[in-house]
Amino acid sequence: MAHTYTNQKGIKAALSNTSDKGHTEYKDARQLQSDVVPALGLLSLDEVKRTHIIVLLDKKEKAEHFVARNRLKAVLSKYFSFVIERGHIKSNPANGIQLIKEQSRKRVLSHNDILFLWQQTDENSNLLPATCLALRFILITGQRPGEVRQLHASQIQGDVWHMENTKNGHEHSIPLSEQALRVIEQAMPHTRHGLIFAGSNGNVMGINTLPRAMKRMT
């Protein structure tokens, strides 16, 4: 009977429906296991109401995880369509719940934040010099970490940083202050293959290097 079929069983069935771990359905089911099973796993499918779904989504929204909130809503809609198709319930409790505008959080550094970061990246830091200087360069220029990690000496022309392959696909030129140029000068002894802020292996600095460095400071 439908009332004996719990969400835990339904999600397990959805997970076993695909054996390809790179497949979208598998990723969806994994998200259901982490976000839904702890809250709704023991409820039978026909016990889940619209209010249950809204409570889960509101938690994401209150934490300002707007993209994750919309993603979870989409995954829940697909999941309930999956169990409807298999005859366990007749209606989708996620239907009619709207997506929200995906706003990005704005983080403004205070004077104390800036001072702290600067002090943590001085010559006494336990971090590699290239990592410290890359963080300072980001602070000075306000540019994306991904673009700073890939900064090549050939992109620096005088006091201007020319970028051809940016995230938005447009060419971009950044005037560099004396302070930014000084950071580049300090980084030159550590360059590898023209990369201003090279990783420890001589290639482009790893994508997680800077976030991990910041985490170590806190």
Tens digits of residue pLDDT in 149-159: 999 999 999 99
Give the DSSP H/E element, type plus range, for residue 7. Answer: helix 7-16
Neighbours of 196 (CB within 10 A): 25
Q: Which two tokens stand for residue 137?
A: 């360069």
Average pLDDT over residues 143-149: 91
Q: Which residues are CB-contacts of 98 (< 8 A; sequence separation ≥ 6)?
A: none
| 124 confidence band (pLDDT: 50, 70, 90) | confident
CATH hierarchy code of domain 2-85: 1.10.150
| Distances, alpha carbon 28 to alpha carbons 6, 7, 54, 175, in Å | 18, 14, 18, 44
What pLDDT score does 129 carry?
95
Task: Measure the CA–CA gap between 66 and 105, rounded to whole angstroms.
Answer: 9
Q: On the CB side of 214, how many CA atoms lie within 13 Å of its CA?
A: 12
- Region(s) of the chain under CATH 1.10.150: 2-85
Q: By C-alpha distance, which of 89, 99, 80 is closest to 32?
A: 80
**In this structure, which amino acid lies at residue 131?**
T
Amino acid in position 81: S
Q: What is the pLDDT of residues 172-201, one digit of tens each?
A: 889 999 999 999 999 999 999 999 999 999
Q: Assign 175 to helix, strand or coil.
A: strand
Angle at 141 between CA 138 and CA 144, to 5 degrees: 50
Q: 65-79, 126-140, 160-174, 187-201 — which is least confidently predicted? A: 160-174
Tokens describing residue 80: 């309930």
pLDDT at 100: 86
Write out the residue limits of the CATH 1.10.443.10 domain(s) in the chain: 111-217
- Classify domain 111-217 by CATH architecture: Orthogonal Bundle (1.10)
Is the full-model pTM beyond 0.85?
Answer: no
166 backbone dihedrals φ, ψ, rounded to 5°: -95, 170
- Mean pLDDT throughout 120-146? 93
